[in-house]
């Protein structure tokens, strides 16, 4: 064989080996790509929520608060429980007793 023929045969052989390697490697499915990539979240929403507890408000809804529960006297003379630092952004919420 001539040197030109050997070069061509070597190039074809390298091409076939690379093609075989690419065919043996399993393709990345769409699900595996999305599972490995981290979701893009709003930086404000991505922050960890402060630790706290769930309480039942006097209105009947559940509220998540991370401040202390305090007793505050009202005009009727009786102290009522209030949860402080409640989400989202409420100062104090009267609790159901």
Cis peptide, bond prior to residue 88, ω within 30 of zero: yes
Summarize the confidence of residues 8-30 as an average pLDDT.
81
Instruction: Give me the pLDDT at residue 14, please.
Output: 92
pLDDT band at 5 (very low <50, low <70, confident <90, very high): confident
pLDDT band at 39 (very low <50, low <70, confident <90, very high): low
Instruction: Give me the pLDDT at residue 50, please.
Output: 64
- For the chain, the farthest-separated pair of C-alpha atoms sits apart, in whole angstroms, at 109
Tell me: the pLDDT tens digits for 41-96? 566 555 666 688 899 999 898 888 888 899 988 887 888 899 988 877 777 888 98
Q: Please, are residues 64 and 53 in contact by the beta-carbon 8 Å criterion?
A: yes
**Which one, of 97, 57, 53, lies nearest residue 79 by Cα?**
97
Of residues 32 and 25, the one with the higher pLDDT is 25
Query: What is the residue extent of each domain of the chain?
Result: 3-36, 46-94
Three-class secondary structure of residue 90 per DSSP: strand
Instruction: Give me the pLDDT at residue 6, please.
Output: 85
Instruction: Give me the pLDDT at residue 15, please.
Output: 92
């Amino acid at each position: 064989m001539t040197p030109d023929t050997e070069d061509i045969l070597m190039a074809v052989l390298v091409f076939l080996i690379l093609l075989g390697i690419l065919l043996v490697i399993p393709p990345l499915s769409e699900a595996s790509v999305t599972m490995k990539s981290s979701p893009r979240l709003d930086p404000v929403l991505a922050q960890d929520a402060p630790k706290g507890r769930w309480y039942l408000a006097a209105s009947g809804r559940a509220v998540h608060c991370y401040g202390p529960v305090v007793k505050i006297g009202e005009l009727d003379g009786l102290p009522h429980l209030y949860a402080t630092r409640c989400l989202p952004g409420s100062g104090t919420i009267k609790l159901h007793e």
